[in-house]
């Protein structure tokens, strides 16, 4: 409820989530797990989260960054010797542990979607505290809200690319955020001084 907790300095409000600082012990466990399976499923990540007392979403990010920056065995299989059968494809018998299950798909109710969409039209790039507030409001984890915004932006940008000028109708009735990185001609080579993406200075 909008308490007036704002202190003098503010608040850096809407922006990124605070940078997580993993302890050595946490890192040890993370790295150890990574070396065994660089693509952990939901269950594994959940277990890890519990074990090192961190949110599962932070673990997800950590694995993404780790994969991007450090080499890793792409083949979890590839042990010392592959089962002498080279071509044994027709053997459903033991399915190799190809992939662990992902997180269960969340289904949003109509009212939840309404809330999300409304927020999206106001600001398609919500900061951490906006996301948390939203999450609390509709009763889902903040990480789900973040993913929802990602997917929503993606869809909208894709749609706009396909139909250059078609969202006018929607703009009439609703709002459709216009600051969604409109692929403008920002490509003037030698410019961009300290200009961060786009002005985020919009009502908040």
Partner DNA sequence: GCGTAATCTAATCAACT
Partner DNA sequence: AGTTGATTAGATTACGC
Which residues of this protein are in contact with DNA, per CB under 7 A? 15-22, 27, 39, 41-42, 58, 60-69, 99, 101-108, 125, 127-128, 144, 146-155, 157-158, 180-181, 183, 196-197
Q: What are the tokens at 148?
A: 């929802």
Residue nearer to DNA on the CB measure, 66 or 172: 66
Residue nearer to DNA on the CB measure, 101 or 165: 101
Residue nearer to DNA on the CB measure, 35 or 106: 106
Provide, rounded to whole angstroms, the least separation between the CB of residue 100 and DNA: 8
Provide, rounded to whole angstroms, the least separation between the CB of residue 84 and DNA: 27
Provide, rounded to whole angstroms, the least separation between the CB of residue 106 and DNA: 4
How far, CA to CA in Å, does 61 sit from each of 64, 93, 163?
5, 35, 33
User: Which residues, including other chains, have CB under 8 Å from residue 19's CB and lie 6 or more apart?
Assistant: none
Provide, rounded to whole angstroms, the least separation between the CB of residue 20 and DNA: 3
Residue nearer to DNA on the CB measure, 15 or 114: 15
Rounded-to-integer distance, Cα 48 and Cα 43, Å:
9
Rounded-to-integer distance, Cα 31 and Cα 40, Å:
12
* 100 neighbors 41 (Cβ within 8 angstroms): yes
Q: 4: which DSSP letter?
A: S
């Amino acid at each position: 409820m909008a308490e007036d907790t704002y202190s003098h300095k503010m608040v850096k409000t809407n922006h990124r989530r605070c940078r997580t600082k993993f302890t050595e012990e946490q890192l040890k466990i993370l790295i150890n797990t990574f070396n065994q399976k660089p693509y952990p499923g939901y269950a594994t990540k959940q277990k890890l989260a519990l074990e090192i007392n961190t949110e599962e979403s932070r673990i997800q990010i950590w694995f993404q960054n780790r994969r991007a920056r450090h080499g890793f065995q792409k083949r979890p299989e590839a042990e010392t010797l592959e089962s002498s059968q080279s071509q044994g494809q027709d053997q459903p018998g033991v399915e190799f542990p190809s992939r662990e299950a992902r997180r269960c798909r969340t289904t949003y109710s109509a009212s939840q979607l309404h809330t999300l969409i409304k927020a999206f039209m106001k600001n398609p790039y919500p900061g951490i505290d906006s996301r948390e507030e939203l999450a609390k409001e509709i009763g889902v984890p903040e990480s789900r809200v973040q993913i929802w915004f990602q997917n929503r932006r993606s869809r909208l940008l894709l749609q706009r690319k396909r139909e250059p000028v078609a969202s006018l109708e929607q703009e009439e009735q609703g709002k459709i955020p216009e600051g969604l990185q409109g692929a403008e001609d920002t490509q003037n080579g030698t410019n961009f001084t300290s200009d961060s993406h786009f002005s985020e200075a919009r009502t908040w």
